[in-house]
Structure 1
């Protein structure tokens, strides 16, 4: 294969965060080890957020220690504020994902501040960030907001330009938080953002599958030139601050599609499938995806 993409596994953060029953830390650690063994080199292992708001992620610092022992793994953690970024760096996080929303209503619901305030906070974080820390921006509700509806491309592009100007060498991930993005919208914003900000270090896409469009929108982003994709084993997920949003696009579905297209992912499907099946069976999990059942039924 002459073409390749990078899959970022987000089940241990985005997939586990809406699950009510506590998942023991060692169980989470075992999933991270198994996902890494399946060839996933970037895993979002958790988030430094309020344990009151999202109690499932209160053991992220412990999981960082687990990830540090796995050779070749790049663990990343999500942070919503500069203060939480300091906590993550103090705990040894090598890769931060700063999240803010394109829509005012969702940003206030998610982090209790305006988009402008989050952008200012991001700038303060950049000033204090030590050398050697990798960085990504997760731009939530880039396509659709659960409160405001469909996002127009122009104002989202304006926000992307402002963020990129603060530090152009970061990775920017366009996130379909609600799963309501259509492939044409994903292709338009992805292509427009890359054309408007060619200095950006890398572009990524984060799909949810609420309306069964996750794989189609992932393909649309790939056609537009994106080469980094978030996915969750077992199709786990759902945003606590986006009512009605269900799981992420399933890692096994994304891997199957790209490999079938002749695009290398570096993921061993035979090793991934049992991990995905176990993740989907977790008590309280909201699972999705189609490849598990199809391959289990011998559909090849």
Structure 2
């Protein structure tokens, strides 16, 4: 395998945040250990948000502290504001994912402010945290909005015009929040963004599989030069502020697709499938994906494909 991609595991944040029954913290830590054991390194372990808004995320500081005892894990936490970003940095988070939405309606529904106000918050956060803290910029509704529908590329690019110069070296992730993007749209937007912002060298894609196009959209982003992809084990997840947008693209599905294409992910599918099965069985979870069930029914397929 001469080509490689990085898969960022977001299940412990995106996959769990909408689950009602609280998952015990020791159970979460055990999942983190097992995910690392399957070859995943960068894991979005949770978010620093209001516990009343997302009760499942209330133990993120404890999970962050536990990561110090998990060799090889690279923990990432999601933050929606300067205040929460400061809290995460003070708690020792080595990597922050700052999120804002392209569309006014989704951003106000999500963080109670306009995209312009969130952009100002982003700049203030960067000025406040230590330079060693890694930053990812997540643009939600970059392709489609649950309230406004399809988002024109010009709107996403215009927001990037404001955000990229603040820290050009930040990783930029364009997010298909609703799962309604299509491969042509994904490929076109990434090509346009990479051409317009040559100073931004690291791009990522966050796909949902709500309408069954998650893998196709990832493939399109890869064809446009993207090499970092978010995924959730067992296909768990969805945005609680985007009605119907359940189902992140499954980590095991991405690992299978890229492996069949001869592209290395560093993931041991034979080790990941049992973790995904247990994730799919969590009470209140909404699992997705196909490879988990296929390989559970025929485990030899994994070895035969050379993906162990």
TM-score (normalised: structure 2): 0.96
Rounded to whole Å, the distance in 1 between the matches of 2:114 and 2:209 is 27
Structure 1 runs of 4+ with >6 Å offset: none
- Shift of residue 164, structure 1, vs aligned partner: 0.4
The residue that corresponds to 1:88 in the other structure is 88
The residue that corresponds to 2:245 in the other structure is 245
RMSD between aligned residues:
0.8
- Shift of residue 200, structure 1, vs aligned partner: 1.0
The residue that corresponds to 2:113 in the other structure is 113
Task: Trace 1:12-27 onto structure 2 (pairs within 5 A).
Answer: 12-27=12-27
- Shift of residue 71, structure 1, vs aligned partner: 2.1
The residue that corresponds to 1:233 in the other structure is 233
Deviations along 1:114-172, whole A, 9 cap, x unmatched? 00000011111111111200000010000000000000001211111210011100000
Rounded to whole Å, the distance in 2 between the matches of 1:261 and 1:161 is 34
Gaps of 5+ in 1: none
- After the TM superposition, which of the residue ranges 289-298 and 245-254 deviates more from structure 2? 289-298
The residue that corresponds to 1:223 in the other structure is 223
SS at match of 1:192: helix
Rounded to whole Å, the distance in 2 between the matches of 1:52 and 1:81 is 16
- After the TM superposition, which of the residue ranges 80-89 and 288-297 deviates more from structure 2? 288-297
Rounded to whole Å, the distance in 1 between the matches of 2:95 and 2:68 is 12
CA contact (8 A) 2:43 2:75 kept: yes
Question: How many residues are paired up?
Answer: 300
TM-score (normalised: structure 1): 0.99
SS at match of 1:254: helix
Rounded to whole Å, the distance in 2 between the matches of 1:219 and 1:173 is 15
Please state if 1:280 is matched with 2:274.
no
- Shift of residue 297, structure 1, vs aligned partner: 2.1
Rounded to whole Å, the distance in 2 between the matches of 1:161 and 1:255 is 33
The residue that corresponds to 2:77 in the other structure is 77
CA contact (8 A) 2:273 2:296 kept: no
The residue that corresponds to 1:184 in the other structure is 184
Rounded to whole Å, the distance in 1 between the matches of 2:257 and 2:128 is 41
Gaps of 5+ in 2: 302-308
Rounded to whole Å, the distance in 1 between the matches of 2:249 and 2:4 is 19
The residue that corresponds to 1:259 in the other structure is 259
